[in-house]
Structure 1
Amino acid sequence: MGYIVYFIIIMAVPLLVQIYLKKTYSTYLEVPASSGMTGAEAARKVLDDNGLYHVAVEEVRGHLSDHYDPRDKVVRLSSSNFHGTSIAAISVGTHEVGHAIQDQVDYGPLRLRHSLVPVANFGSSMSFFVILAGMLLQSANFILLGIFLMAAAVLFQVVTLPVEFNASSRALTQMVSSGLIRNDEEGEARKVLNAAALTYVAATLVAIAELLRFVLMFIGMRNDEE
């Protein structure tokens, strides 16, 4: 029964969330925002309203490849959001600006996430190989080391959640206060932002499930040694 629940979490949950995100995004990509602004224009306005004149807005290749680059101080939007005038385009554009505002105000969880990047990258790339070596060698110590490496990557995922939800909250506030959407469009924008946030929740659940699986494996090996 435990393995069934595990596989549901790591396979079904992310798949269902992706389907929901694509459906929600596609739906509101066809719904024009009352302001008539493109995602790029909306992002520029919110940046300027917050004094972030030095932060650029650029178009980037890919589908939903939108992100804020804190090193270059650039909000990068995929073509459909950069040029689109839909609720979805404006929502995604201002969400990324939300990260730029977090950067401006030195938002704690964002700083913590940035500091965890090197450790998380190393942990995610090496943990599986270390755990695999532990399984082949029947070494509980190797598995424990792999667990610590994996835990660093999981911590990064957990810290990402408040960063993303806070950026979405800032985006909703800014969209209304800057006149990018009307009050009656707020619910539609919230649906887009919530759907995107769910992808991070799903990724975190999968990461935690994987970590717990190897923790239980380590405990089992320790019990066998005794």
Structure 2
Amino acid sequence: MIFVYIGMGLSLLASSLVKSTFAKYDRVRSQRGISGREAAEIILQKNGIGYVQVLSVRGHLSDFYSPKDKTVNLSEATENSSSIAAIGVAAHECGHAVQDAVGYMPLVISRNINPVCAICSQLAIPIIFIGFLIGLSGFIQLGIIVFAVAISFQIITLPVEWNASQRAMRILEEEGILSPQEIKGVRAVLTAAALTYVAAAASSVLQLLRLLILYGGRGRRDD
């Protein structure tokens, strides 16, 4: 269970960090006074992807880019705020739109394997549980393999998120949307956000290791 506790600790720590970092820089207004929506529209136009729409969604930090609908979806706080935190988050989602427009390969791969990984994530634990319940090692092995496939999406997501953040900061600076000093704040916000993905992936890998250890122990007892 130590792996489970470590994973939970990493996730809680990362979540706390991103909330506190966002709150800190959400109190810092941008020098130009533009909102997250305005920043997003500037970035999309400058990169020749004005066909991507900027829409509003409910929630806090619920922002996302939809490659299927070609929309950058911003939460109300991000859309209407002129803080450097909000502008950074909006720019990050536009970074995904730019990735999509240029055919960034990790994004293409993650988008294609996502449906398979989503199914695997739902099936893995039930298969493993049945395997332990009826004592079939083949079922347990299959469940572990299915679980490994499921977490591959989280691992592939890491370079996608990192690259989107790098694109966001570069565009914000090149277009003069934020000053170099303000970019430092954006970097802090986006780095904290990236750590949530790292923590989630690490937690899943630790869970996989736990399953492998449990299966290994069962295998030795069966021998």
Provide TM-score, normalisation by structure 2: 0.97
Give percent identity, aligned residues only. Answer: 42
Write the distance in 1 (CA, Å) between the matches of 2:147 and 2:24. 37
Deviation at 1:225, TM superposition (A): 2.3
Match of 1:87 in 2: 84
Given that 2:14 and 2:195 are in contact with CA atoms closer than 8 Å, whether structure 1 keeps it comes out as yes
Write the distance in 2 (CA, Å) between the matches of 1:37 and 1:219. 57
Match of 2:46 in 1: 49
Deviation at 1:136, TM superposition (A): 1.1
Write the distance in 1 (CA, Å) between the matches of 2:38 and 2:202. 35
Write the distance in 2 (CA, Å) between the matches of 1:154 and 1:75. 25
Matched, 1:170 2:167: yes
Write the distance in 1 (CA, Å) between the matches of 2:23 and 2:98. 27
Amino acid at match of 1:182: S
Provide TM-score, normalisation by structure 1: 0.96
Which one of the candidate residues 198, 201, 204 is aligned to 2:201? 204
Given that 1:38 and 1:82 are in contact with CA atoms closer than 8 Å, whether structure 2 keeps it comes out as yes
Given that 1:82 and 1:93 are in contact with CA atoms closer than 8 Å, whether structure 2 keeps it comes out as yes
Write the distance in 2 (CA, Å) between the matches of 1:58 and 1:217. 46
* 1:70-219 equivalent positions in 2, closer than 5 A: 70-219=67-216
Matched, 1:62 2:59: yes
Write the distance in 1 (CA, Å) between the matches of 2:23 and 2:183. 17
Please tell me the root mean square deviation across aligned C-alpha atoms, in Å: 0.9
Which one of the candidate residues 6, 14, 19 is aligned to 2:16? 19
Given that 2:63 and 2:74 are in contact with CA atoms closer than 8 Å, whether structure 1 keeps it comes out as yes
Deviation at 1:112, TM superposition (A): 0.7
Unaligned runs of 5+ in 1: none
Amino acid at match of 1:21: V
Deviation at 1:118, TM superposition (A): 1.2
1:31-57: CA deviation from partner (whole Å, max 9, x where unpaired): 001121100100010000000010000
Write the distance in 2 (CA, Å) between the matches of 1:116 and 1:220. 32
Unaligned runs of 5+ in 2: none
Amino acid at match of 1:73: K
Given that 2:35 and 2:79 are in contact with CA atoms closer than 8 Å, whether structure 1 keeps it comes out as yes
Match of 2:31 in 1: 34
1:7-64: CA deviation from partner (whole Å, max 9, x where unpaired): 3322111111111111001111110011211001000100000000100001100111
1:164-192: CA deviation from partner (whole Å, max 9, x where unpaired): 00000000001111111101111111000
Write the distance in 2 (CA, Å) between the matches of 1:225 and 1:159. 36
Write the distance in 2 (CA, Å) between the matches of 1:7 and 1:150. 15
